[in-house]
Structures are given as structure tokens and as C-alpha cells.
Amino acid sequence: MNRVETAMVTSPPRRWLQHLYEVPVLLRFGGRLIPGTRALEIGCGSGYGSQLILDRFGAATVDAVDLDPAMIHRAGRRLARYGDRVRLVQGSATDLRSALGADDESYGAVFDFGIVHHIPDWRAAIAEVARVLTPGGRFYFEEVTAHALARPTYQRLFDHPTDDRFTADQFLDELVRHGLEVLGSLTRIQGDYLLGVAAKPIPAGGDR
């Protein structure tokens, strides 16, 4: 992210939007987490998303990864009061095994608060999300689509990958291609933004 977008995503209005609008929508689609759930946030930024995952969604612990060491430092300050319930690691969402030592089916929930559209190989990030989710685990996502990224204002102010950007339908289709079931989703502002929840099915005869 460039300086303009970093300032925007760490601003009070952005936090208010997450707290007052996005979190209630995601809770409506996916509900709170089962007690004891180990969660993952990809692209944790300044740590406000991880705070919401703990306080609003009810995660027992959160592992959070971000490419930017400055953001990891900021998140560490914000989340210090949670102690060992939070683990912060610098690394890529496209290789969670290297970043976090994340085995297959190791998280009961994964959260994406607007990071996948920044990743050039966004399909690899989705594949990693599907890989690390436990059966019955849920993927909570809020994303910016190609429709928004093509707007002149976005192109002037922000720095995003320009090739192979996804529409809302393409993002949802990729989730399904990796075996996830979309529990609910919505787009807003002419398809610019996508919010939703998907789940990894529980095998027949299995327990969540």
C-alpha cells in the first residue's frame, strides 16, 4: 500500500466502518466462532482487525501475518494487552506454511479485511485459505473488486496490482473452485465491494 491508502485504512473512519457496518454483516452471515477457535488474519495491518476477531467474533487466539514490518510493529503495540492470545508474524498470505508453519486444516476461521486485492497472485492466497481451514471452518472476507480498482480516483490515489484483478463473481467462483461453500455475500456501490462468509464442508460422518 502507498502512503495515502495506509493513512486511510488506519484512520478512525475506516475503523468505524469496520465496527459499525462490516462486522455486523459478517456476523449475520457467519456468526460468532465456536469457543476455543484458533483464527488467522491475513494482512493484519495495524491490528484493529485482529482486535475485532478477538472481541467481536470470539476467537480464542489469533495468528496474524503481514508483509510490512512497520505494520507488524504497530499491531504489536495495539494488541499487547492480549498477551499470548495473539501471534504476529511478517510473511506472505500466499505461503502460510513458510510464514507461520501453518499445517493443513489448522485454523477454525480465516479473516480477510481487504487484503487479497493487493496480492498479485490472489488465487494462491485463496488456495492457502482453503488449505489451512479446518472442516467446518469459516472464511470471513471483505474485498475491493476490479470494478472499483478501474475507477480513475482509485488509480490516481492508490497503488494496486493492475493485472488479473477479480470481480465479485470471480472471487466467489474461486472460493467454490477450492471446495468452499459460500454461506452469504453481498456487493455494494455498484459491485465495488464484496463482503461475505464461506465455509469448508465437513466430510460425511465427520464432526465440526
Over residues 5-33, the pLDDT tens digits come to 565 566 777 788 888 899 999 999 999 99
> Among 72-76, 129-133, 164-168, 195-199, which stretch is predicted with the lowest mean pLDDT?
164-168
Residue 206 has pLDDT above 70, yes or no: no
Model confidence band, residue 157 (pLDDT cutoffs 50, 70, 90): low
Mean pLDDT of 51-72: 97
Q: Which domains are assigned to the chain?
A: 3-199 (3.40.50.150)
Q: Which pLDDT does position 4 carry in this prediction?
A: 46
Q: Is the confidence at residue 208, as pLDDT, over 70?
A: no
The beta strand positions in the chain, using DSSP E, are 38-42, 61-66, 86-90, 107-113, 133-144, 181-188, 193-199
Instruction: Choose among 116, 125, 175, 112: nearest CA to 146.
Output: 116
Q: What is the DSSP letter of 36?
A: T
Is residue 207 scored above 50 in pLDDT? yes
pLDDT at residue 89 greater than cutoff 60 = yes
Residue 150 is predicted with a pLDDT of: 83
Bigger pLDDT: 39 vs 16 = 39
